[in-house]
Amino acid sequence: MEDEQRKKTFLKRNGLLLKAAATALITLVIKWAMHRQGWELIAVNPLFAGIVAADVFLMSFLLSGVWSDYKESEKLPGELASTFEAMADEAVNVYRHKDRTKGSALLSALSKLDQTLLKWFKESKRDTKHLMTMLEDVNDLFVTFDRVIDPPFIARMKQELATLRRLITRVRTIRATEFVSGGYLIARVTTVLVVIGLVLAKIEPFYEAVFFVGVITLLLTFMILLIKDLDNPFGYYEKGSTQDVSLYPVEEVSDRLRRLCADTSSGKSD
């Protein structure tokens, strides 16, 4: 079991590099076949170097664009967890000092909402509308608090719920939006053309050709895969996704909410 887990961890951390290396190896095999057949028809000149530089510049532009969204996405799970923690603390106060039934009901609703949020993150077919409906259900609980809880408390809770809705909407937008799809297309086409040019280029001696073709193909392929992977930092449901932000803060608060629900059900408090 541990060996299988280590294998999965290794593949997740090095998946992009392994894919890029496999592509570079296949390209070198084709290059060797072309060399043996004498089908290397393109002479290397400064224009070819310019095409490679243009491709690298284009991918640098794409990488800078997706990187800003990725850095923002790294903060979202922590902000979601903080919002749940704040609401959970208020629910515990209600349970301890105001009304045990209502406090327990709010904790239970928050726990179910957080578990649904985790499933929404990890399953591509999970409907966002269902998650938003659960947010509305939590909001409906506050109507029953009017005679028990002070208005400032309800205002704070509704503000936290609005923050939660805003963060979920932002995650959904990042997941659904592809950064400059036209840029991806031209980057892929240019990279394919560069690799074809390298395969057909006559570079002497041959061992230098092997080195340059292998390194350039590895670099360009890795960049394309990395940009595509970074474009969706919440791709937990995608089979080949490796560069996903950590959901540890949300999972941690989910465990706490389950413990609090268990304690309130048994008559204990946190």
155-170 pLDDT per residue, tens = 888 899 999 999 999 9
Q: Which two tokens stand for residue 1?
A: 């079991």
Distance CA 100, CA 106 (A): 10
Best CA proximity match to 194, nearest among 226, 218, 230: 218
Residue at 131: amino acid letter: L
Q: Which pLDDT tens digit goes with each residue over 208-260?
A: 899 999 999 999 999 999 998 888 899 888 877 888 899 999 999 999 999 98
Per-residue pLDDT of 8-48, as tens digits, reads 566 666 888 889 999 999 999 999 999 988 888 888 888 88
- For residue 42, what pLDDT is reported? 85
Residue from 45, 42, 33, 49 nearest 202 by CA: 42
78 is written with which tokens? 């922590």
Give the alpha-carbon dihedral of 236, 75, 127, 173, to 10 degrees.
Answer: -100
Measured CA distances, 263 to 2, 75, 89, 122, 214 (Å)? 33, 30, 14, 28, 60
Q: State the Cα–Cα distance between residues 138 and 153, nearest whole angstrom.
A: 14
CA distance 263 to 270: 7
Query: How many Cβ atoms are within 10 Å of 1's Cβ, its own excluded?
Result: 5
pTM equals 0.82
Q: Would you place residue 270 in the very low, low, confident or very high pLDDT band (cuts 50, 70, 90)?
A: very low
Domain ranges of the chain: 17-265
